[in-house]
């Protein structure tokens, strides 16, 4: 027996006249509010029926929630709202409030918008997936993360006088069973670097610098100028900041060198910026060292070598906690200057410099007020 074809109205559709005079079939949907029992219709021409355009909630809500057929209406309002709330795609979409036919979605959007915005802030931003993605504020988060890696590295200090440039670095050990990692690396007879950040990236850049110095000696039969080498490092570190699928180098360098222009201290950053400095400190708690360098910067140019090294050690000591001090195991020194090739001092070689360094002043603990004393004594001046 041939089954009779039902009319559109009987199959859950409705026929509606458009302004252009054509009839269309539009899917009906059941209102999410339990207080509304009537069905609403989207006519042809709205974005629910146009190919390639969907209602903002269409892909976020399962089909059995969107189509309010009589066989699928057993799901209550709370379950519908929960499934809409769990959909992450709703966070990025918003209905077209300018369309008069979408007014029925207004109450729903106004009710869930504050909660959706609060949950959206809990997620990591969507602009830190790649180094080629800019945030609306004009920032590249991958580069900022690489800059944070430099701040997590152990501190290092660089300073110069008229005749010498000095690097002083704090070495770390993974555990008591491991040796301290090298923080000062030899590049050429007139150049050395100290690092803060990822050691693996530092070794790669150090090998590149050594190759450039060898090329200069082989081709031009002369040492490579320090400023030229730093510009090459800046060009190399910029490449991974502007290519898809790459990451910035997570290491900062202090470059000490001596050439025809005199001693130099350069700082390089993962952002490919580099700076010519008179004195600089990078790494963890380096702000304390920079404060010391700023206070005594006028003294550096007239210092001899021993005094310059002591200033570097004092600045580096400012980055340590109160219970720690500089020792031969955790300090490394690099020196380069006029008629002096770049030399690294480690372990026992550091002892002569530490012996001439005065002891670190201990901070006096403030006396606590006993519980049985009267409160009036708290106003008395404390001894300094």
Q: Residue 349 corresponds to which tokens in the numbers above?
A: 């070689």
Residues 115 and 150 both lie in one domain: no
In a domain, 365, yes or no: no
57 with 201, same domain: the answer is: no
Q: Indicate whether 94 belongs to any domain.
A: yes
Q: Flag whether 49 is in a domain.
A: yes
Q: Are 192 and 184 in contact (CB under 8 A)?
A: yes
The DSSP output letter for 8 is T
pLDDT of residue 53: 43
Q: How far is CA 202 from CA 81, 174, 332, in A?
A: 52, 18, 16
pLDDT band of residue 173 (cuts 50, 70, 90) is confident
SS3 157: strand
pLDDT digits (tens, 9 = 90+) for 198-211: 999 999 999 999 99
Location of structure tokens 């400023």: 227
In a domain, 374, yes or no: no
Q: Are both 182 and 308 inside the same structural domain?
A: yes
Of 32-41, 214-223, 281-290, minimum mean pLDDT range: 32-41
Task: Give the residue numbers spanning the domain of 172.
Answer: 143-355
- Tell me if 371 is assigned to some domain: no
- The whole-number pLDDT of residue 117 equals 62
Which pLDDT does position 31 carry in this prediction? Answer: 40
Of 89, 122, 155, the position where a domain reaches its end is 122
**Is 361 contained in some domain?**
no
Sequence-distant (≥ 6) Cβ neighbours of residue 321 within 8 angstroms: none
Report the pLDDT averaged over residues 193-220: 97
Tell which wins on pLDDT, 296 or 70. Answer: 296
Domain count, the chain: 2
Same domain, 166 and 261: yes
As to burial, measured by CB atoms within 10 angstroms (0-12 exposed, 13-18 middle, 19+ buried), residue 325 is: middle
| Residue 381, domain member (yes or no) | no
- Both 101 and 159 in one domain: the answer is no
State the Cα–Cα distance between residues 355 and 43, nearest whole angstrom. Answer: 88
Residues 88 and 170 in one domain: no
| Residue 368 β-bridge partners | none
> Nearest-CA neighbor of 124 among 142, 138, 109?
142
In this prediction, residue 377 has a pLDDT band, given cuts at 50, 70 and 90, of very low
Q: What pLDDT is recorded for position 119? A: 57
Q: Find, among 194, 171, 172, 173, the residue nearest to 184 by Cα.
A: 194
Of the candidates 122, 156, 174, which is a domain's last residue? 122
Of 87, 122, 157, the residue that ends a domain is 122
Residue partners of 316: CB distance under 8 A and separation at least 6: 155, 156, 157, 168, 169, 170, 281, 289, 326, 331
According to DSSP, residue 99 is labeled S
Task: Please give the average per-residue pLDDT across 274-284, as a whole number.
Answer: 96
| Residue 173 CA: distances (Å) to CA of 302, 328, 329 | 35, 13, 10
Q: Are residues 66 and 171 in the same domain?
A: no
347 and 244 within one domain: yes
The model's pLDDT over 75-85, given as tens digits with 9 standing for 90+, comes to: 455 555 555 55
- Percentage above 70 pLDDT, the chain: 61
Q: Read off the CATH number of the domain in which 168 is found.
A: 3.60.20.10
- Whether residue 173 is found in the same domain as residue 113: no
| pLDDT (tens digit per residue) in 307-341 | 999 999 999 999 999 888 899 999 999 999 999 99
Q: What is the pLDDT of residue 84?
A: 52
Instruction: In whole angstroms, give the CA distance from residue 22 to residue 316.
Output: 82
108 with 210, same domain: the answer is: no
Pick the more confident residue, 103 or 31. Answer: 103
For residues 273-286, give the mean pLDDT.
96
Which band of pLDDT confidence, cut at 50, 70 and 90, is reported for residue 3?
Answer: low
207 and 255, same domain (yes or no): yes
* Distance of alpha carbon 213 from alpha carbon 253, whole angstroms: 17
Is 129 a domain residue? no
pLDDT given at position 58 = 47
Per-residue pLDDT of 113-172, as tens digits, reads 666 666 555 455 678 888 888 988 899 999 999 999 999 999 999 999 999 999 999 999
Q: What angle do CA 96, 100, 106 make, to 5 degrees?
A: 60
Does residue 223 sit in the same domain as residue 344? Answer: yes
Per-residue tokens: 79 = 């379950």
């Amino acid at each position: 027996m041939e089954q009779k074809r039902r009319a559109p109205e009987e199959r859950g559709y409705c026929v509606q006249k458009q302004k252009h005079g054509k009839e269309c079939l539009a899917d009906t949907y059941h209102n999410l509010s339990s207080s509304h029992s009537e069905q609403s219709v989207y006519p042809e021409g709205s974005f629910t029926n146009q190919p390639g355009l969907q209602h903002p909630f269409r892909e976020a809500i399962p089909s059995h929630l969107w189509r309010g057929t009589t066989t699928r209406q057993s799901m209550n309002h709370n379950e519908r709202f929960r499934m809409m709330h769990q959909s992450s795609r709703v966070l990025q979409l918003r209905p077209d409030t300018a369309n008069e036919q979408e007014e029925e979605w207004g109450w729903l959007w106004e009710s869930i918008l504050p909660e959706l915005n609060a949950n959206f802030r809990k997620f990591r931003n969507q602009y830190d997936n790649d180094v080629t993605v800019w945030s609306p504020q004009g920032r590249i988060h991958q580069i900022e993360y690489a800059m944070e890696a430099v701040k997590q590295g152990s501190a290092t200090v660089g300073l110069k006088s008229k005749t010498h440039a000095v690097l002083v670095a704090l070495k770390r050990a993974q555990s008591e069973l491991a040796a301290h990692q090298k923080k000062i690396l030899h590049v050429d007879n007139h150049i050395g670097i100290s690092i803060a950040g990822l050691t693996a990236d530092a070794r790669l850049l150090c090998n590149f610098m050594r190759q450039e110095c060898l090329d200069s000696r082989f081709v031009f039969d002369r040492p490579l100028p320090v400023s030229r080498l730093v510009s090459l490092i800046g060009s190399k570190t910029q490449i991974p900041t502007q290519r898809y699928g790459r990451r910035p180098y997570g290491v900062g360098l202090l470059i000490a060198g001596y050439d025809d222009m005199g001693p130099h201290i350069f700082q390089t950053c993962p952002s490919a910026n580099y700076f010519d400095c008179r004195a600089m400190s990078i790494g963890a708690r380096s702000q304390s060292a920079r404060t010391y360098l700023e206070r005594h910067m006028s003294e550096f140019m007239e210092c001899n070598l021993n005094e310059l090294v002591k200033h570097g050690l004092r600045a580096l000591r400012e980055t340590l906690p109160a219970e720690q001090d500089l020792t031969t195991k955790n300090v490394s020194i690099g020196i380069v200057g006029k008629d002096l090739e770049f030399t690294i001092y480690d372990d026992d070689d550091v002892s002569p410099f530490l012996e001439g360094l005065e002891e670190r002043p201990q901070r006096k603990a403030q006396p606590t007020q006993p519980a049985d004393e009267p409160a009036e004594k708290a106003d008395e001046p404390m001894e300094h």
